[in-house]
Amino acid sequence: MIPAAFEYFSPTSVDEALGLLREHDDAKVLAGGQSLMPALRLRLAAPEVIVDIQKIDELHGVRDDGDALVIGAMTPHSTVQSDPLVSEHARLISLATATVGDPQVRHRGTFGGSLAHADPAADLPAVAVALDASFVIAGADGRRTVPATEFFQGMFSTAVGEDELLVEVRVPKYTGWGAHYEKFNRVAQAWSIVSVAAAVRLDGDSIAEARVGLGNMGPAPVRATAVEAALVGQPATAEAVREAAARAADGTSPGSDLNGDADYRRHLATVLTRRAVLAAAGTA
């Protein structure tokens, strides 16, 4: 199908984009368009105005900012996936990004676009909560920074207001940490039924720190804090990790759908968490 008609703008600065968003009530931001375009074509979305932010230079690229990496919202997945800084300091992001969509989608789809879309079954939100990423949002009163736990507010819902724009994402450095992204789906291209993003820092043979994020275990990504706490000080053995991973579904409220009911998802979360943490420890 063909999208419903809309008015199109292609601003070249963040301020210009914000002005357009304030000026138009029913405006939608177009990043890489790999979720929005299918929605427009199926007429699940029919905004009156599209603000295409591709030509805003400052939104592109990855940079080193001391203790953190800064990933511009419009950086395509294919760039993030092969970026040496990301690979060195936030390997979990490289691994998860390599599983997003398919190669064509990764050439167009963007890091910020995927996060701002906040699909519960997407790959990057679980990674963002696991790594304590923070989100820089521009609005009329300047820029504010929101932690990942507050950024994701529900299904397709984030802290980005109607007249605001996600500019960049700051990720603390996890240099030397092991990482693994484990996603469970039926076939190529399918959404995750459940996904687990894990990063582990070892001290000798035991786990000194762990970060675990869960995808599609509720309307927003979840940080598995009970698992993280249980892992600290434990040896990175199958038995110890299995015991800690048994708490993966604590406090979650996953939905039921054709791919699996809530109990199945809770079970899956424990299995995938065990696999992800063990694999992450193996690469640390």
Partner 1 sequence: MTRITVKVDGSSFTDEVEPRTLLVLYLREQLGKTGTVVGCDTGNCGACTVHLDGRSVKSCSLLAVQADGHEITTIEGLATNGELHPMQQAFHENHALQCGYCTPGMIMQSIDLIADNPNPSDEDIRHGLEGNLCRCTGYQNIVKAVQAAAAAAPAAPAAAQHSAVGGAQ
Query: Which residues contribute to the site for partner 1 (CB under 8 A)?
Result: 1-8, 10, 30, 33-34, 37-38, 40-42, 50, 52, 54, 76, 78-79, 101-105, 107-108, 188-189
Is the Cβ of residue 117 or residue 201 nearer to partner 1 in the bound state? 117
CB of 57 to partner 1, least distance (A): 10
Is the Cβ of residue 156 or residue 264 nearer to partner 1 in the bound state? 156
Is the Cβ of residue 53 or residue 277 nearer to partner 1 in the bound state? 53
Q: Which residue has the tokens 């035991």?
A: 206
Q: Which residue has the tokens 């990423």?
A: 133
CB of 259 to partner 1, least distance (A): 17
Please name the amino acid found at residue 126.
A
Q: CA 276, CA 178: separation in Å to the nearest integer? A: 10
Is the Cβ of residue 77 or residue 265 nearer to partner 1 in the bound state? 77
* Token representation of residue 227: 């698992």
Phi, psi dihedral angles at 61 (to 5 degrees): 105, 165
Is the Cβ of residue 52 or residue 209 nearer to partner 1 in the bound state? 52
Is the Cβ of residue 61 or residue 235 nearer to partner 1 in the bound state? 61
CB of 239 to partner 1, least distance (A): 32
First to last CA, the chain: 48
Phi-psi region of 274 (alpha: psi -120 to 50; beta: other; left: phi over 0): alpha
Q: Give strand pairing partners of 62.
A: 71
Torsion, Cα 230 232 236 237, to 10 degrees, reads -30
CB of 21 to partner 1, least distance (A): 17
CB of 169 to partner 1, least distance (A): 18
CB of 189 to partner 1, least distance (A): 6
Answer whether 167's CB lies under 8 Å from 59's CB.
Answer: yes
DSSP calls for 184-221? E-SSTTPPPSEEEEEEEEEETTEEEEEEEEEESSSSS-
Is the Cβ of residue 86 or residue 230 nearer to partner 1 in the bound state? 86
CB of 7 to partner 1, least distance (A): 7
Between strands 178-184 and 165-172, the pairing is: unpaired
Is the Cβ of residue 3 or residue 172 nearer to partner 1 in the bound state? 3
Helix (H, G, I), strand (E, B) or coil at 137: strand
CB of 86 to partner 1, least distance (A): 15
Q: CA 84, CA 61: separation in Å to the nearest integer? A: 12
* Token representation of residue 202: 């070892």
Question: 216-237 burial, b for 16+ CB within 10 Å, e for fewer?
Answer: bbbbbbbbbebbbebbeebebe
